[in-house]
Structure 1
Amino acid sequence: MTAWLQALPAVSVAAAMLLVPGLLVAVAAGLRGLTAIGLAPPLSVTTVACTAVAAGLVGVPFGVAAVVVGTVVTAGIAVAVSKVLPGTAPSRTSCPSVVAGLAGAAAGGMCAALAVVHGIGQPDVFPQTFDAVFHLSAVWQALHTHDASSLTMGTVAAPGNSSAFYPAAWHGLVVLVAEVSGAPIVVAVTAVSVAVSALVWPLGCVLLARQVAGSRPGVLFAAGVLSAAFGASPYLLLSYGTLWPNALANALLPATLACAARLLVPRDRAGQTDGFDRWRAGVFGAVALPGLALAHPNAVLSGLIYGTVMALVALGHWGLSARAGAQPRLVALGGAAALVGAGLWLVAWSPLFAATRHTSWPARQSLAQAVGEWVSAAPMRTPVPWLAAALVLVGCVVAWRRPQLRWLVLAHAAAGAAFVLVAGSDGPVARALSGPWYDDPFRFAALLGVTAVPLAALGLEAGAIAGVRGVRARSHRFPALRPLVATCGLAAVVATLTGGMYAGGNSHVVATWYHGQSLAGPAERAMLERLPQLVPSGELVAGNPWNGSPFASVLGDRAAVFPHVSGSWDPDRVLLASSLNRAEDLPEVCAAARRLDVGYVIDGSVAFWKGDHRQAQYRGLEVAGHPGFEPVAHGGRLTLYRVTACS
């Protein structure tokens, strides 16, 4: 626990970076209450990510100063745009709704933080997975080059290029946390994970619930509390993969979809009291999209699933309600067909996702099993949250009985159908439609909570109201508060019965990929952490990336020649990978080593993904027993050698 107390400043900085820039922009545009607070994280991510791109283009170092300037500029633009929009900016807020929503988000956030903290174990531990190698190396590079632009982040796996795109919003946030708090990179990564799950996700769920159910305090409180209940969201991608950027993007989805819901979905009078008109919903939704895309592009496509359902419902509502005859219905039908066709083309045939369509994961279960997992709110064998899953089913019934909420049930079914198709089928349809998500059922499973949370909140409120009606009240005082009090009470009971919204089971979801040590165990890590005393500053460290040597950067503050286990290497790196151990015989090897400033090499056996065919290209880095390499330090499987052949 002492280590977590020491990490608290980093967590606080992460929360501030995810909340403050966007909140300033929202308030400058005139937004207030839950709308401003709920939209703050996606607006913050857009501000940080776009500032990083702009700073890279003009040659300005990325950091806190650049983000401050970016926030001021974005806030100024928000003020100017708000003045030209029709109508007036929202100024009225419902105090009970704000208090209930924030209280629910705080309660759910505490449960989520507890699950993440227990799952990770110690703040300086990181999952030793394929993607984690890239992300940790990318943060180190961005921190040392002061460049966190998405236009250049891809050079981590293609260091011979001057530019290569990779969505870098998450990496920029980690860089800011490390810079401001002074925490090590791994602790900064952990801090962002805690803040994403305990702040961004519950606030977004509350905002989406507000657009679904209006300003009913009971639903808002329930949505905040229940946001922590589902193992698939927001916990799964914090560990699996490890897909930290995708986890951030998914956490931004509810708030972004709240804008789409306000813009597209017909609403009853109860939902029109927030003052968040369609003009502003469209503008702020558009502003949130760059942050969503630069966190992870497939989140935009995930949002397209829900947005398509909303648009189809809106077109159907307009076509059926029009009184002009058959022409509006034909227009609505044509618009729906065009919308679906454009979406299918974008996902299955557009060149934007041509590269990701080559990735394929075999089906892990039958279609029937996948359906059962989605219905029980436990996709990809995450723990079954029985009570929360039952509330989702009740919420589906409640929402379907209200025509203006049926889109939510249809959206939940659409996301479920995508998961079932990818998890249970290897057919051509599944392959074609899952390209942007790498044909990976885990990425679809992580979408569960986007619709499950508001549905469960509706179900919990319905249960509470039924309980109030079933008990004869002894007092007729404050009848309007009874549903709220009953909902809060029932939510407290659910939280108690489930052990803090299944915090124990959800911590196991986080811990699943955090406990491996196949790249760097304690002994290997101890040696890597000594690199600042062993390797002079400015000299690069070579090594087979599959044996853990890329962690020379994030743990030892020394640049690795191969910062990822797989990449597009330049000719000098290709030569070293195949022939460094022949440096005394091949002058061109030493020439390449000098051009790259390589003075040391880490050699040792591979324990990660043994037998992967890509490991063969690094056999030239097996220097043990070869002349021209002097052992300097040893730790577990790894030995550090100084390259004397090229002295």
Structure 2
Amino acid sequence: MPTPDTFWTYLSTICIYLIVLVVPGGLVGAAAGLRGWSLAGLAPLFTYLTLGLSGPWLAVAGLPYNPGTAVACTLLLAGAAYGLRRLALARGWTTGGRERPPVVWTRRAHFAVAACVLLATVLSVIVVLNASGGASAVFQRWDTVYHANGIRYIADTGDGSLFGMSKINWYPDGSYYPNAYHLVGALVYKLSGAAIPTVLNAVTVPIAGIFALSLVAMVRQFGGRAVFAGCAAIVAGAATTGAYESVSSGLLPFALGIVLTPLSAVALDRFLNRPGLDTGVVLTLAVAGMLLAHTSALFGAILFVLPLMLQRWWRREGKPLPDLARLIPVGVATALLAAPHLLGAISFGAGSYPYKPWGSDLPVGRALLQLLQFRQFLTEPLTWLSIFLVIGILTVRGLGRLRWVGLSALLLSGIFVLVASYGGLSWVITLSRPWWNDRYRLMALAAIPLCLLAGHGLAETQRLLAKTVGGWSWVRDSASMPAKLRIASATLLVACLAVVTNGFYTNANAIAVGYAYQNWPESEKVGQIPVTANEVAAMLALQEIADPAEMVLNDRRDGTAWVYAITGIRPVAGHYDPGVPPPDAAYLSEHFREYDTDPEVRAAVERLNVRHVLLGHGSILPDIKRAPGLENLDGLRFLRREYSNSDAVVYTILR
């Protein structure tokens, strides 16, 4: 459901996000010596790294996180990267080796690949806008309220610590969560002045474009053809299980980690080809960036690049022990740089938060078919991407230095099948714990090499088309025809793909992402959505009634947990998640109706400074009912109805 921002506010917020996405990371990457596509690809990762480090370290120093301190931290990190690079050059702590990929791209090729990345970004914009049903629509899935409240908390309080934003729901101490996503979102929120739902949408809009850029940087690093890079970018913008499906599940930071994962191969390959302090700094920043984007992203990146290491050792381009020895200092430097995150992750793992695996049991054949068709719950298979994936698999030898991607696809697809088909087995649950035993997350991870293989298949189809036409006698007789033929064949192939896929599957992908907003053709069959326009109206009315310092009692089962993100008023229940709730929140949800007769209820109300009650309509899940302590409040003598509409009501507690 929409919040009050206009489309033009949304557009300006997207522009601000793109600037924030590029500038801090680009400055750090350039200072570290990156250039060209490596710089362009790693810039978003380094932005999330820079701001993701800034918040926790500023909190350790007792300083607030805001635009000013974020700029200072960016300059500090860029200065450190530049200083280390200059030191390495001055002391000779670099080694010789190949810096430029062996395949030369013409200027025209660079522009064509950039156009493909732009196309993927445009596709992403179209998909998200069509899915949301409005430029400032509210996400309706499980974790999105936590992310929304986290962004608002950081922006309002300046607390960039790894435990702070969780205090909205798990008070008073909070809970660990990697918050680079939220720190970037908080900066966009402060700079744009837009509502939090608008900020969340703006940060989501270019997700497939970031994926495309990451794949292009990877193909370029490993010496792939420009056509391959462009095709990979187009596949990134069209594949449902790449960027879009994680968004549809509300896994917004996880989706970010997925689209940045290919960059781990870029940084690792640069370091292995030319070990040195400068390339080691870049790899350290990239590894830390994966950890900060999402904890599971680092585990996924390790699995993704493991076949790269195996191929390197098999072809005797390096030896296991020396390579692993060189990586030890990188690991130590990463641990020091991201020390607050590692300590926080350890404390979370040892804490009381319950781990609840999904336990999927799909037939193996169905799981394999989902991989091949780039979908899990869509009714429409992405047939043409499946065809190009098969072609890419059959021509995997043509990948050259990227042949390891085939083994990566086999490894990650195998893990997906294990979790999708045997997710209830204890050893599978243990193996997949970084991904919460969730087949949707592991499908997204497997989609990375599968998208590369499909892009390779599309590029090989273009090569075959150009070769076939080039064999015609009238073509052979023209000296200028081969270059023009390559351009024409690539353009024709992309145009045909756009037609046969109905605009690169934008409609199918919009339906998939629409699940995040409960906005898809069959959504009316599900029932009342958690956050309606009327509930947003009630939250805004509460903003006029309540004191900003108070907390509002609400039911964590409906959409009222969004009240903090939208108004800044803290709810008693700040997340749908019922795991380890604060004692007062748990007691009030069970017994608030007994306010007149139960002194413990009144004491809890007093401790939390609760003055109003906000109840919405519907539930995050259709089979979840309202908490017993908040049922049938009308007519109770200690409450006065202050505002109501068809979906929500606000009460004042009469003391």
Asked if Structure 1 and Structure 2 have the same fold, meaning a TM-score greater than 0.5 normalized by the shorter chain, the answer is yes
TM-score range, shorter chain: 0.7 to 0.9
Shift of 1:211: 2.6
Matches within 5 A, 1:197-216: 197-198=208-209, 200-214=210-224, 216=225
Deviations, residues 500-522 of structure 1 (Å, cap 9, x unaligned): 32111111110123126532223
Structure 2 counterpart of 1:80, one-letter code = G
Asked if the contact 1:249–1:295 (Cα under 8 Å) also holds between the matched residues in 2, the reply is: yes
Q: Tell me whether 1:359 sits opposite 2:359 in the alignment.
A: no
Structure 2 counterpart of 1:155: 167
Structure 2 counterpart of 1:377: 374
Asked if the contact 1:543–1:602 (Cα under 8 Å) also holds between the matched residues in 2, the reply is: yes
Shift of 1:376: 2.6
Distance 1:488 1:26 in 2: 33
Distance 2:568 2:169 in 1: 18
SS in 1 for 2:651: strand
Shift of 1:261: 4.1
Structure 2 counterpart of 1:555: 566
**Which of 626, 630, 640 matches 2:636?**
626
Structure 1 counterpart of 2:402: 405
Asked if the contact 1:127–1:239 (Cα under 8 Å) also holds between the matched residues in 2, the reply is: no
Shift of 1:604: 5.6
Matches within 5 A, 1:133-144: 133-144=145-156
Q: Tell me whether 1:506 sits opposite 2:513 in the alignment.
A: no
Deviations, residues 588-643 of structure 1 (Å, cap 9, x unaligned): 43343233221111246653325549x65x62676433221111111224321111
TM-score (normalised: structure 2): 0.85
**Which of 497, 517, 540 matches 1:529?**
540
Q: 1:545 to 1:226 in 2, by over 3 A?
A: same
Distance 2:247 2:399 in 1: 35
Distance 2:163 2:348 in 1: 16
Structure 2 counterpart of 1:178: 189
Structure 2 counterpart of 1:64, one-letter code = P
TM-score (normalised: structure 1): 0.86
Asked if the contact 2:535–2:560 (Cα under 8 Å) also holds between the matched residues in 1, the reply is: no
Matches within 5 A, 1:304-315: 304-315=302-313
Asked if the contact 2:135–2:198 (Cα under 8 Å) also holds between the matched residues in 1, the reply is: yes
Structure 2 counterpart of 1:238: 247
Deviations, residues 311-354 of structure 1 (Å, cap 9, x unaligned): 22223333xx89xxxxx89x89x99xxxxxxxxxxxxxx99867
Shift of 1:72: 0.4
SS in 1 for 2:238: coil
Distance 1:385 1:236 in 2: 13
SS in 1 for 2:68: helix
SS in 2 for 1:228: helix
Q: 1:484 to 1:605 in 2, by over 3 A?
A: closer
Structure 1 counterpart of 2:42, one-letter code = L
Which stretch of structure 1 is more off in the superposition, 459-468 or 231-240? 459-468
Distance 1:352 1:435 in 2: 13
Distance 1:402 1:90 in 2: 20
**Which of 191, 200, 204 matches 1:193?**
204
Percent of pairs identical after alignment? 23
Distance 1:310 1:357 in 2: 35
Shift of 1:278: 7.4
SS in 2 for 1:513: helix
Q: Tell me whether 1:105 sits opposite 2:117 in the alignment.
A: yes
Distance 2:618 2:451 in 1: 43
**Which of 73, 76, 96 matches 1:73?**
76
Q: 1:382 to 1:293 in 2, by over 3 A?
A: farther
Shift of 1:120: 1.4
Structure 2 counterpart of 1:289, one-letter code = V
Deviations, residues 164-183 of structure 1 (Å, cap 9, x unaligned): 31111111121111111111
Structure 2 counterpart of 1:343: none
Q: 1:25 to 1:604 in 2, by over 3 A?
A: closer
Asked if the contact 2:142–2:620 (Cα under 8 Å) also holds between the matched residues in 1, the reply is: no
Structure 2 counterpart of 1:271: none
Matches within 5 A, 1:425-504: 425=422, 426-471=424-469, 472=472, 473=475, 474-477=477-480, 479-480=482-483, 482-504=485-507
Shift of 1:55: 1.8
Matches within 5 A, 1:562-641: 562-565=573-576, 566-603=578-615, 606-612=618-624, 616=627, 619=629, 623-641=633-651
Structure 2 counterpart of 1:122: 134
Matches within 5 A, 1:243-322: 243-263=251-271, 280-318=278-316
Asked if the contact 2:242–2:451 (Cα under 8 Å) also holds between the matched residues in 1, the reply is: no
SS in 2 for 1:631: strand
Structure 2 counterpart of 1:298, one-letter code = S
Structure 2 counterpart of 1:325: none
Gaps of 5+ in 2: 326-345, 520-527
Asked if the contact 2:168–2:571 (Cα under 8 Å) also holds between the matched residues in 1, the reply is: no
Which stretch of structure 1 is more off in the superposition, 407-416 or 381-390? 381-390
Distance 1:141 1:420 in 2: 39
Asked if the contact 1:395–1:456 (Cα under 8 Å) also holds between the matched residues in 2, the reply is: yes
Structure 2 counterpart of 1:167: 178
Q: 1:478 to 1:470 in 2, by over 3 A?
A: closer
CA RMSD, 1 decimal: 3.1
Shift of 1:363: 1.9
Structure 2 counterpart of 1:221: 230
Shift of 1:185: 0.4
Asked if the contact 1:207–1:255 (Cα under 8 Å) also holds between the matched residues in 2, the reply is: yes
Gaps of 5+ in 1: 267-275, 323-327, 336-349
Which stretch of structure 1 is more off in the superposition, 90-99 or 437-446? 90-99
Matched pairs, number = 608
SS in 1 for 2:640: strand
Structure 1 counterpart of 2:59, one-letter code = G
Distance 1:354 1:412 in 2: 33
Shift of 1:388: 1.8
Shift of 1:523: 2.2
Deviations, residues 101-131 of structure 1 (Å, cap 9, x unaligned): 3121111111122111111121221232221
Shift of 1:293: 1.6
Distance 1:379 1:285 in 2: 34
Which stretch of structure 1 is more off in the superposition, 595-604 or 291-300? 595-604
Distance 2:68 2:14 in 1: 20
Deviations, residues 337-380 of structure 1 (Å, cap 9, x unaligned): xxxxxxxxxxxxx9986778932213252011101211233345
Q: 1:46 to 1:514 in 2, by over 3 A?
A: same
Q: 1:277 to 1:508 in 2, by over 3 A?
A: farther
Asked if the contact 2:612–2:653 (Cα under 8 Å) also holds between the matched residues in 1, the reply is: yes
Structure 1 counterpart of 2:392, one-letter code = G
Distance 1:299 1:70 in 2: 24
Distance 1:4 1:640 in 2: 29
Distance 1:87 1:303 in 2: 26
Shift of 1:496: 3.3
Distance 1:307 1:16 in 2: 30
Q: Tell me whether 1:29 sits opposite 2:32 in the alignment.
A: yes
Deviations, residues 537-590 of structure 1 (Å, cap 9, x unaligned): 322111222122212212333111221122534444344333333333344433
